[in-house]
Amino acid sequence: MARYIGPVCKLCRRENLKLFLKGDRCYSDKCAFDRRPYPPGQHGQGRIKFSEYGVRLREKQKVRRLYGIFERQFRRYFHFADSEKGVTGENLLRYLERRLDNVVYRMGFASTRSEARQLVRHNHVLVNGKRVNIPSYLTRVNDTISIRERSKKIARIAESMEAVERRGPVSWLELDKASFSGVIKQLPARDDITMPIQEQMIVEFYSR
């Protein structure tokens, strides 16, 4: 399973938005976006004018990078979302939020989605009591996500759970910190996703 292993702060600077890809560092004064809030590269500080296509491309790239997904899989989610009833853009975001690595991150067991992905890949996460090591696994309502008994000793998980409050509440999940588990109460509504995303632009990008 491929994953991006290049420099991530450049992605925030490219997308002109803090994507919170580095956990604690993102909340410190070391954040590269706070220090250099312009795109990376020699011409980063020059004037940049986007075409209509460029604006839509950047919106798509931003969301893809936020969730740490490559193009092929992202496009697949779009096709799933497009073939379902309802608003395509909202369906797409719901698919992305339902991914197991995202849910582990949202519950606070990891400080970033890539860390959550690693927890899942390394067999630390259970879904309804069964080991699932596929980061793209799509969770459902009433699924219980928990940390495997012997993995509860991992200091990094406890540290992440301590720091989760700063990210704000996640109303569609119910977390029980004491037992390192949580339940998906409902699927996320559009208002539950607070990052500035214009999903309609992504729909327009793929529908061009």
Question: Interface with ligand SF4 by CB under 6 A: which residues?
Answer: 8-9, 12, 18-22, 25-26, 31-33
What is the rounded CA–CA span in Å between residue 28 and residue 162? 16
Determine contact, residues 29/163, Cβ cutoff 8 Å: no
Give least dist CB 185 to ligand SF4, A: 29
Give least dist CB 95 to ligand SF4, A: 23
Residue with tokens 């009833």: 85
Nearer to ligand SF4, 19 or 120 (CB): 19
Residue with tokens 């890539």: 114
Nearer to ligand SF4, 8 or 173 (CB): 8
What is the rounded CA–CA span in Å between residue 146 and residue 104? 9
Give least dist CB 173 to ligand SF4, A: 23
Max alpha carbon distance in the chain (Å)?
53
User: Encoding tokens for residue 138?
Assistant: 């799509």
Give least dist CB 153 to ligand SF4, A: 27
Nearer to ligand SF4, 25 or 75 (CB): 25
